[in-house]
A and B are shown apart, each in its own frame.
Chain A
Amino acid sequence: MNAPVNTPAPADGELKELVAQYALQLGDDALILSQRLSEWCAHSPELEEDVALANLALDLLGQARTLLTYAGTLEGRGRSEDDLAYLRTEREFRNVLLVEQPNGDFAVTIARQLYFATYQHELYSALVESTDPELAGLAAKAVKEVAYHRDHAVQWTLRLGDGTEESHRRMQDGLDALWPFTAELFAADTVALALAETGVAVDPRTLRPAWEASVAAVLEAATLTMPTGAWQPGGGRAGEHTEGFGFLLGEMQALHRQFPGAKW
């Protein structure tokens, strides 16, 4: 799929399909990061942080449920949020690679949070203007939650970066390790671009300047260095994921696959 940027407005059915794919992309980002964050439950460095990370995961799960339900409704194949979360295979997930990266140490998790929450805050701030009322409504609601996510990551980045020699080293290592995966957040994805033309979606490329300025300001205040590097892995939106993703899905889907339709 390599549609040129200036495509004619999509027909109604085609538009619906595109919005379904877009909702799936954003929903999968939220779902997979939620799953990763919930792995910290009962393993955080302190009790307050355990509660905080679980709260972040819960907010993201709420966004994911709304988006996956909407995607399922639009595609019209009768798939519920649960069907989409529990019964798709690895190649069918549309999330960016950043959110599936393993938690690493606490600093790696905070680096991932800083990169992603800053991006999501910019994205939802812009998506409030979407011509799609469902997406605009969710964005208006979620942007306020994500402001807290970003604040959480900023405070920890400052503490770790401007803390001890060891915390500084780990925070910088986390930022450097995950930096390559940030490029995909702003890549010219065909679904988003086609929908940006119609005012439904946000062109991901437009989010980069504000994101970079925001991250750079935090890192400077935290005495950390903005990473550089040319390697820009991608493919998540096309279902090409990294090695750890299969294990994540295995754990997330185990119960539903062993006991189909389980309810409690």
Chain B
Amino acid sequence: MMTQASEALDLAALEAAASAVPDPELPVVTLGDLGIVRGVAVAGDGAVEVRLTPTFVGCPATEAIAADVRAAVEARLRTGGGTGAGGVEVRTRMVMSPPWSTDWISDDGRRKLAEHGIAPPRAGGHGGPVAVTIGRPPTQQNQACPHCGSPDTRELSAFGSTPCQSLRACRACGEPFGAMKSL
């Protein structure tokens, strides 16, 4: 019976529900925008399993994200996740590979971050480690100010209010701002 119920589940709708969950630390973007929902499948025991990946291994929001995703997918099941969706267990599983990078953030996500005053990461070419050099890596020197748009900004600290952000300030308008780290 469990297997029959599982076959009738609308997995695309469940993945959409998981992807629409707002990030608990940056609620202007969804988990889908950040690119951390890796897929939804039915496990061997009939449970719905949502695969998630962390931005940083030690991201403290990971557990809140998992709880929010479970709640959203369970709610979707109740309101029409397919026939026979009642009583299906929902689980999340953290997968590390392939590793998340800032390139997984959607264009929509980048726009929403900027509108919220967080400079989006530089696009492209950040699948590997940040170049480690003596003197500041040049890739970290030119994130534009999300407030006034000036490219003339400086890094205050490589570590900011969340693991995935650095702290920068604008030389033109003087405002400090968070910036998504290139990872």
Q: Closest residue of chain A to B136, judged by CB?
A: A155
Contact in complex: A141, B159 (CB < 8 Å): no
CB within 8 A of B99: which of A60, A65, A137? A137
Mark contacts of B123-143 with chain A using CB atoms, 8 A cut-off: 1 yes-contact digit, 0 otherwise: 000001110101011000000
CB within 8 A of A151: which of B57, B100, B137? B137
Q: Closest residue of chain A to B58, judged by CB?
A: A62
Contact in complex: B58, A61 (CB < 8 Å): yes
CB within 8 A of B160: which of A49, A51, A133, A143? A51
Contact in complex: B58, A59 (CB < 8 Å): yes
* In the complex, B44 has a CB within 8 A of chain A: no
Most buried by B among A61, A125, A148, A155: A148
* In the complex, A150 has a CB within 8 A of chain B: yes
Contact in complex: B132, A145 (CB < 8 Å): no
* In the complex, A167 has a CB within 8 A of chain B: no
Mark contacts of A117-142 with chain B using CB atoms, 8 A cut-off: 1 yes-contact digit, 0 otherwise: 00001000100000001101110111
Given known A-B contacts A65-B58, A136-B97, A58 and B132 have beta carbons under 8 A apart: no
* In the complex, A63 has a CB within 8 A of chain B: yes
CB within 8 A of B129: which of A138, A147, A152? A147
Contact in complex: A141, B181 (CB < 8 Å): no
Nearest Cβ distance between residue A244 and chain B, in whole angstroms?
Answer: 24
Within B137-183, the residues touching A (CB, 8 Å) are: 137, 156-161, 163, 167, 181, 183
CB neighbours of B59 from chain A (8 A) = 62
* In the complex, A56 has a CB within 8 A of chain B: yes
Given known A-B contacts A59-B163, A137-B96, A138-B96, A48 and B57 have beta carbons under 8 A apart: no
**Bound: A144/B181 CA distance, A:** 11
CB neighbours of A171 from chain B (8 A) = none
CB neighbours of B100 from chain A (8 A) = 141
Contact in complex: B130, A62 (CB < 8 Å): no
Contact in complex: A140, B97 (CB < 8 Å): yes
Most buried by B among A49, A60, A151: A151
CB neighbours of B156 from chain A (8 A) = 48
Within A186-234, the residues touching B (CB, 8 Å) are: 217-218, 221
Q: Closest residue of chain A to B53, judged by CB?
A: A141
Contact in complex: B58, A144 (CB < 8 Å): no
Q: Closest residue of chain B to A136, judged by CB?
A: B97
Nearest Cβ distance between residue B181 and chain A, in whole angstroms?
Answer: 7
**Bound: A151/B136 CA distance, A:** 8
CB within 8 A of B130: which of A49, A59, A148? A148
Q: Closest residue of chain B to A53, judged by CB?
A: B159
**Bound: A52/B160 CA distance, A:** 7
CB neighbours of A140 from chain B (8 A) = 96-99
Contact in complex: A138, B134 (CB < 8 Å): no
Given known A-B contacts A56-B159, A141-B99, A147 and B132 have beta carbons under 8 A apart: yes
Contact in complex: A52, B57 (CB < 8 Å): no
Q: Closest residue of chain A to B126, judged by CB?
A: A144
Q: Closest residue of chain A to B140, judged by CB?
A: A151
CB neighbours of A150 from chain B (8 A) = 132
Nearest Cβ distance between residue A16 and chain B, in whole angstroms?
Answer: 20
Most buried by A among B58, B59, B156: B58
Q: Closest residue of chain A to B62, judged by CB?
A: A62
CB neighbours of B35 from chain A (8 A) = none
Q: Which residues of B contact A (CB under 8 A)?
A: 54, 56-60, 95-101, 128-130, 132, 134, 136-137, 156-161, 163, 167, 181, 183
- Could you list 27 A-B pairs, sorted by A, with CB under 8 Å? A48-B157, A51-B159, A51-B167, A52-B158, A55-B159, A58-B60, A59-B56, A62-B54, A62-B59, A65-B58, A66-B96, A121-B132, A137-B95, A138-B96, A140-B96, A140-B98, A140-B99, A142-B57, A143-B129, A144-B99, A144-B101, A144-B129, A148-B159, A152-B158, A154-B134, A158-B134, A218-B134
Q: Which residues of A contact B (CB under 8 A)?
A: 48-49, 51-52, 54-56, 58-63, 65-66, 121, 125, 133-134, 136-138, 140-145, 147-148, 150-152, 154-155, 158, 217-218, 221
